[in-house]
Amino acid sequence: MAKASSMGSRRGWLPVALLLLAASLLSPQTAAAAGDAASGEAEHAVQQHSERISGSAGDVLEDNPVGRLKVFIYDLPRKYNKKMVNKDPRCLNHMFAAEIFMHRFLLSSAVRTLNPKEADWFYTPVYTTCDLTPAGLPLPFKSPRVMRSAIQYISNKRPFWNRTDGADHFFVVPHDFAACFHYQEEKAIERGILPLLRRATLVQTFGQENHVCLKEGSIIIPPYAPPQKMQAHLISPDTPRSIFVYFRGLFYDTGNDPEGGYYARGARASLWENFKSNPLFDISTDHPATYYEDMQRAVFCLCPLGWAPWSPRLVEAVVFGCIPVIIADDIVLPFADAIPWEEIGVFVEEKDVPKLDTILTSMPIDDILRKQRLLANPSMKQAMLFPQPAQPRDAFHQILNGLARKLPHPEGTYLQPGDTRLNWTAGPVGDLKPW
């Protein structure tokens, strides 16, 4: 497996000023705050070692959606959701699992209403990513047919879809390219968003500006990362951050991109070619058992695009207080109306990857320390997680906050009797086959 130079050489990675930085970047209280968020005890974080941004990470993330909206959940046949999980429980653990846990959360949420006439939003619990390969990767090819079938079901059984063509409905679509339903960008763009979803609100992990797979008004969410697993790997809060830059993952995908250059738009290949021998960079394709522990020992964690711009590394970095270095041009990040990403992360354009060492080593120490204080905000960490059971200010509640902020519905939401805005026969021929 590809691996950069040994860990031992990294212990003396910088001149005196930055060695002092490495010793001081993580106070015991800051690490404790990371553990608090992962374990659900964020209320006990030491406030003087974290920082809030008024009106953003401090205030908006702490909004309580209860009382601000009501959600009606369609009762679909089990083949659209629960039977899929029973057939393959691996769906509960992959990074697309938010669609499953959002359904479970809403079933017992205080915002749920059993009276559709008083609902602000309608939710259709369909699990479009729970069709896995033997290796555990979601197959998107049946997803459009599954989604179309679910929409046909609710439109035939209930009047609520037809009165708006879905404009007061929301769907969780955590595929690589959301409702474009393909893992390769070129083919996702060719497909476009499933036509029947073009008036609905999409809750999705994919976000990129000016992209056909991101429609206006979508709510961008973090991918699923298992909170209990992260909690189990917490290390002592006294552990210094002795790794400067950390990354584990692919640099090339020879199976799907044998000629190279297409995967990650070449950004990951550039990381490897430029920094595989740099002692500041602990980068490798290996995924060690100490992965979570290593992130807690790192100052910067690289979050480059892969096939899609997003990955669970962003969640892991925030929870573990490792400054995320985001390498994905035009990315739209989770809950960007509430989380001050520019303040807590570092953004590097894909073309500037060869200069990454200079960019990071030239950052003023005060800027790095402030980013870490902001990352220590328990609300920041909690907003990135889908814990079971749900907790105040978690990702479930941030989704509801996003839906509440879209109310009241705009003029034009409700159609005149007999009017329709959707073309039920649009889309690739394969998508129109029954499921």
* Nearest C-alpha neighbor of 386 from the set 84, 102, 125, 66: 102
pLDDT at residue 59, rounded to an integer: 58
Which among 108, 140, 314 has a CA at the least distance from the CA of 224? 314
Q: Is 98 helix (H, G, I), strand (E, B) or coil?
A: helix
- Residue 65 one-letter amino acid: P
pLDDT digits (tens, 9 = 90+) for 184-232: 899 999 999 999 999 999 999 999 999 999 999 999 999 999 999 999 9
Would you state the pLDDT for residue 11?
40
Tokens for 141, please give them.
């090819």
392: which residues sit within 8 A by CB, 6+ positions away? 64, 382
Q: Report the side by side order of strands in the sheet with 243-248.
A: 281-284, 243-248, 298-304, 323-327, 346-347
Structure tokens at 362: 């030239």
Is there a contact between 125 and 167 (Cβ–Cβ < 8 Å)? no
Q: How far apart are CA 375 and CA 377, in angstroms?
A: 5
CA nearest 43: which of 395, 383, 379, 394?
379
Count each helix (H run) and each strand (E run) in the chain, helices first: 16, 10
Residue 136: predicted pLDDT: 83
The pLDDT value given to residue 256: 84
Residue 50 has what pLDDT? 66
- Evaluate the CA torsion angle 113, 115, 118, 122 in order and state its sign: positive
pTM for the full model? 0.88
Cβ contact 150:196 at 8 Å: no
Sign of CA dihedral 346, 189, 200, 395: negative
What are the residues facing 283 on neighbouring strands?
247
Nearest to 387 by CA among 218, 172, 230: 230
* Strands 281-284 and 298-304, sheet pairing: unpaired
What pLDDT is stored for residue 395 in this prediction? 97
| 71 vs 228: CA distance, rounded Å | 28
**What does the pLDDT read at residue 16?**
35
- Stretches where the chain sits below pLDDT 50 are 5-17, 19-20, 22-48, 55-58
**pLDDT score at 337:** 87
The contacts of residue 285 (CB under 8 Å, 6+ apart) are 1, 2, 3, 248, 249, 250, 251
